[in-house]
DNA sequence: TTATTTATTATTGTTAACAATCTATGAATG
DNA sequence: CATTCATAGATTGTTAACAATAATAAATAA
C-alpha cells in the first residue's frame, strides 16, 4: 500500500506546513491521549508523510522526545514510544513531591493576596468543568493549577523540572494502568492547598501538598499491581 | 587564514574519529575549564574542523548542549556558550537543595554499613588529592561524592536531575565569578554528612546537607555582587 | 518439517550540495 | 558625521541522494 504524502492537493484543504514544534506537540498529545500506546514504533518516513514534513524534521522531533524520555531510541533501529518501568513511575512521583514541596515552601511566605485570588479563580474553573462533565478539560485545568504554583514561586529551574515531570507522567500512568477517568486530582484537595498557602504556615502547606500527591500516587501504585500479573497467572488460567 | 581539517595526515599521529558523545564531552569540559568563556560563539564549520567530524555531528551536539542549557541557540544565528543569569544561578542552587535534601531523606533510613564505608573511602581519596595539591582532582572527587549519594538513594529521576544541575553549575559560577580555586566543597562538611547519614537521623542529615549547600551558595552569591556593579559605578568612577 | 543461509526490502544514518539568512563592509545620502 | 542602503561574504538551515544497517522473505540443507 502506498501512502500519499499529506500535501495540500491530496487532502483538498489548505493547511500551512507544520513547524517542528507543532509536530512535537501533536505526537506528545497522541501519547497522552493513548492513541500511540507505549512501545509503538515511530517510523520516520511514515510520520513525515502523516504530518506533511520532511524526514529531517521528524528526526529532530524524535531526538527531542527522546531527551525528555517520552520515546526510546536505539541506534539503527529507530524510535518507539517509551515504556517507563513501574520503578521509574515511583521515582518520578517521589521527585515530584520534592519539587512541589520546595515550590510550596518558597511560595507560602511570599504569596500576595492577588495570587491567592487568581488561584481560587482557577479552582472555580476546574470545578465548573468537572460539574459540566468535561473531565478532559477538568484534568487539564487541574494540571494547570500545579503548573501555576510553580510559575508563581518564581524559580525557573523548579518550574522547568515540574514541567518535565508533568510531561512524563501520563506515559507512566498509561503504561501501568488501564485507562481510568478518575486519575485527576480531587478539587477539594487543591482547595486545601490554597487554604494552607493563605494561612502562611509553610510546613502545613508542604504537608498538605505531599498528602495530595501521595493520594494520586497510591491510587496508581495500587492499580499497577493488577495489570502486571506474573507469568504463572497468565499461562495457567487459560 | 585557512584552517586545515583535523585529518590523520595533517596532525601526523593516528587518532580514531571522534564520536558524537566524545565531541559533546570535549566541549562540556572546555566550558568547565573556562577555555570557552560564556558568550563564546560556537561556529559549526570551525568546530567540525577542530574535532575532525562532519558538520552534522556538531549540529546534533549543539542541540543536545542547548537542551541541557549549556549553550544558547538562536534561530539563524547559531549557538554560543550560555550566559546564565544570576537569578538562574540562584534558582539552580535552590533546586539543588530540594533535590539533595530528598536524596538524603530517602537514603538515611536505608543506607547499609557497606555504603557508609564506601563513602568514607571516597572522602579519604578526596582528602588525599587535596593534600597532594591536586585541587582539580579534589574538586572532581568532591562532585563525585554528591553524585554517589544520588546513585545510592536509588531514585533515577533525582539522580538525573542532580546530574543536570551539576552539569550546569560550573557555567553559572564562571559567569558570575572571577576564577576561584576555593569553589570546592570543604571536605569536613562532607564528613559531617556521612556522620549524619550513619546516625540515622534523617532530619539532621538533611539539615546538614542544606547548610553545606548554602555555604557554597553564599560564597558565590557574595562574589557575584562584586563583578556585576551597576551602570553608575561603571560610568562614574573613571 | 526445521534450521540455516542467502537475497530482498524496509528503515535508519550520513553526506554534500544547495538555499536562506545574517553580518560586515563600504559607498551614497542627508 | 551619522545614517541608510546595497553588496559580498560568512554562517546557518534544508534537502535529496546515497550508504549502512536491520528486518523480512525466500531458498537451501539437514
pLDDT in tens, B117-150: 999 999 999 988 888 888 888 888 999 999 999 9
Round the average pLDDT of chain A to a whole number and report it.
84
User: D8 C1' – A63 CA distance, angstroms?
Assistant: 36
Position A134 confidence tier, pLDDT thresholds 50, 70, 90: confident
Average pLDDT over residues B56-62: 97
pLDDT at B16: 62
The per-residue b/e assignment along B114-128, b for 16 or more CB within 10 angstroms, e otherwise, is ebeeebeebbeebbe
Structure confidence at residue B191 as a pLDDT band (50, 70, 90): very high
pLDDT at A235 over 60: no
- Verify whether the Cβ–Cβ distance B88 to A158 is below 8 Å: no
Rounded to an integer, the average pLDDT of B176-191 is 66
Q: What is the mean pLDDT of residues A142-164?
A: 97
pLDDT score of B5: 40
Three cell numbers, residue B118: 564506601
Question: How far in angstroms lies nucleotide C11's C1' from the CA of residue A31?
Answer: 22
The whole-model pTM stands at 0.86
- Residue B185 confidence (pLDDT): 57
Question: Which positions on strand C lie below 7 Å from a protein C-beta?
Answer: 11-16, 21-23
B55 contacts in A (CB within 8 Å)? none
B41 DSSP assignment: E
Which residues, including other chains, have CB under 8 Å from residue A190's CB and lie 6 or more apart? Answer: A123, A126, A142, A145, A212
pLDDT band at B159 (very low <50, low <70, confident <90, very high): very high
For residues B142-169, average pLDDT? 96
Within 69-98 of chain B, which residues have Cβ less than 7 Å from strand C?
75-77
Q: Please give the DSSP secondary-structure letter assigned to residue B132.
A: T
Are the beta carbons of B88 and A165 separated by less than 8 Å?
no
Residues B164-174: what's their mean pLDDT? 91
Q: What is the pLDDT of residue B6?
A: 43
Whether B157 sits inside 8 A of A95 (CB atoms) is: yes
Identify residues of B whose CB sits under 8 angstroms from chain A CBs. 60, 63-64, 67, 87-88, 91-92, 94-95, 97-99, 101-102, 106, 155-158, 161, 165
Pick from B72, B160, B136, B149: which is nearest to B104 by CA?
B149
Of B91, B101, B155, which has the smallest distance from its Cβ to A94's Cβ?
B155
Residues in chain A whose Cβ is within 8 Å of chain B:
60, 63-64, 67, 87-88, 91-92, 94-95, 97-99, 101-102, 106, 155-158, 161, 165
pLDDT value for B13 = 40
pLDDT above 70 covers a percentage of chain B that reads: 82
Q: How far apart are CA A173 and CA A227, in angstroms?
A: 12
pLDDT greater at residue A238 or residue B112 = B112
Distance between CA B81 and CA B89 in Å, rounded?
A: 15
Residue in the block written with cell 524524535: A62
- Residue A132 has what pLDDT? 87
Q: What is the DSSP string of B63-81?
A: HHHHHTTSEEEETTTEEEE
Instruction: Please measure the distance between the N-terminal and C-terminal CA atoms of chain A and give it in whole angstroms.
Output: 37
Closest Cα in chain A, distance from residue B115 (Å): 21
Residues of chain B with C-beta less than 8 angstroms from the C-beta of A106: 94
Cβ neighbours of B63 in A, within 8 Å: 60, 63
CA distance A125 to A207: 25
Flag if B94 and A102 touch (Cβ within 8 Å). Answer: yes
**Stretch among A19-28, A50-59, B96-105, B219-228 having the lowest mean pLDDT:** B219-228
Indicate whether B190 pLDDT > 80: yes
Give the pLDDT band of residue B218 (cuts 50, 70, 90): confident
pLDDT band, very low/low/confident/very high, at B27 (cuts 50, 70, 90): very high
**Residues in a beta bridge with B41:** B80
Supply A2's cell numbers: 502506498
* Residue B183 pLDDT greater than 90, yes or no: no
- The verdict on a CB contact (< 8 Å) between A102 and B98 is yes
Lowest mean pLDDT among A55-59, A212-216, B99-103: A212-216
pLDDT at A33: 83
User: What pLDDT sits at residue A177?
Assistant: 64
Q: Which residue, B14, B6, B31, is CA-closest to B170? A: B31
Mean pLDDT of chain B: 84
Residue B57 Cβ < 7 Å to strand C: yes
pLDDT at B175: 73
Q: What is the pLDDT of residue B144?
A: 95
Long-range contacts from B64-72, C-beta under 8 angstroms, 24+ separation? B64/A67, B64/B24, B65/B24, B65/B27, B65/B28, B67/A64, B67/A67, B68/B164, B68/B167, B68/B168, B69/B168, B70/B28, B70/B31, B70/B167, B70/B168, B70/B171, B71/B42
Q: What is the DSSP string of chain A?
A: -PPPP--HHHHSS--PPPPHHHHHHHHHHHHHTTSS-TT-EE-HHHHHHHHT--HHHHHHHHHHHHHTTSEEE-TTS-EEE----HHHHHHHHHHHHHHHHHHHHHHGGG--HHHHHHHHHHHHHHHHHHHTT-HHHHHHHHHHHHHHHHHHH--HHHHHHHHHHHHHHHHHHHHTS---GGGSPPHHHHHHHHHHHHHT-HHHHHHHHHHHHHHHHHHHHHHHHHT---HHHHHH--
Residue B162 has pLDDT above 90, yes or no: yes
Q: Which of A94, A98, A156 sits opposite B98 (nearest CB)?
A: A98
For residue B138, what pLDDT is reported? 87
Q: How many Å is the Cα radius of gyration of chain B? A: 21
Q: Say if the Cβ atoms of B155 and A88 lie within 8 Å.
A: no
Between B140 and A4, the more confident residue is B140
How far, in Å, is the CA of A41 from the C1' of nucleotide D25? Answer: 21
How many CB pairs below 8 A link A and B? 58
A2 Cβ contacts chain C strand, under 7 Å? no
pLDDT higher than 50, residue A1: no
**What residues form DSSP beta bridges with A231?**
none
CA of B116 to C1' of D15 (A): 57
More confident residue, A213 or B222: A213
Nearest CB partner across the interface for B161, out of A101, A106, A161:
A161
The burial class, CB within 10 Å (0-12 / 13-18 / 19+), for A227 is exposed
Note the pLDDT of residue B222.
57
Once rounded to an integer, what is the mean pLDDT over residues B59-85? 96
Phi, psi of A77 (to 5 degrees): -130, 20
**Is the CB of B158 less than 8 angstroms away from the CB of A64?**
no
The pLDDT assigned to A49 comes to 92
Minimum Cα–Cα distance from B156: chain A residue: A91
Q: Do A88 and B161 touch (CB under 8 A)?
A: no
pLDDT for position B223:
57
Q: Is the CB of B5 under 7 A from strand C?
A: no
What digits encode the pLDDT tens for the residues A176-195? Answer: 765 555 545 577 889 999 99
Amino acid at each position: 500500500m502506498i501512502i500519499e504524502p499529506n500535501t495540500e492537493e491530496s487532502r483538498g484543504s489548505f493547511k500551512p506546513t507544520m513547524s517542528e514544534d507543532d509536530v512535537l506537540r501533536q505526537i506528545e498529545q497522541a501519547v497522552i491521549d493513548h492513541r500511540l500506546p507505549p512501545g509503538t514504533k515511530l517510523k520516520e518516513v511514515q510520520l513525515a508523510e502523516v504530518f506533511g514534513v520532511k524526514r529531517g524534521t521528524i528526526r529532530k522531533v524524535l531526538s527531542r522526545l527522546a531527551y525528555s524520555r517520552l520515546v526510546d531510541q536505539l541506534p539503527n533501529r529507530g524510535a518507539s514510544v517509551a515504556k517507563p518501568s513501574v520503578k521509574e513511575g515511583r521515582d518520578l512521583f517521589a521527585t515530584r513531591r520534592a519539587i512541589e514541596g520546595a515550590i510550596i515552601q518558597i511560595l507560602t511566605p511570599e504569596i500576595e493576596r492577588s495570587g491567592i485570588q487568581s488561584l481560587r479563580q482557577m479552582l472555580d474553573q476546574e470545578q465548573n468543568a468537572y460539574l459540566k462533565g468535561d473531565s478532559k478539560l477538568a484534568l487539564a485545568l487541574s494540571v494547570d493549577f500545579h503548573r501555576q504554583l510553580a510559575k508563581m514561586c518564581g524559580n525557573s529551574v523548579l518550574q522547568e523540572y515540574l514541567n518535565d515531570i508533568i510531561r512524563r507522567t501520563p506515559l507512566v500512568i498509561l503504561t501501568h494502568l488501564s485507562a481510568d477517568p478518575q486519575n485527576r486530582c480531587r478539587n477539594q484537595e487543591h482547595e486545601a492547598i490554597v487554604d494552607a498557602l493563605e494561612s502562611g504556615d509553610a510546613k502545613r502547606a508542604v504537608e498538605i501538598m505531599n498528602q495530595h500527591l501521595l493520594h494520586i500516587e497510591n491510587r496508581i501504585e495500587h492499580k499497577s499491581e493488577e495489570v502486571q500479573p506474573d507469568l504463572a497467572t497468565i499461562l495457567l488460567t487459560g
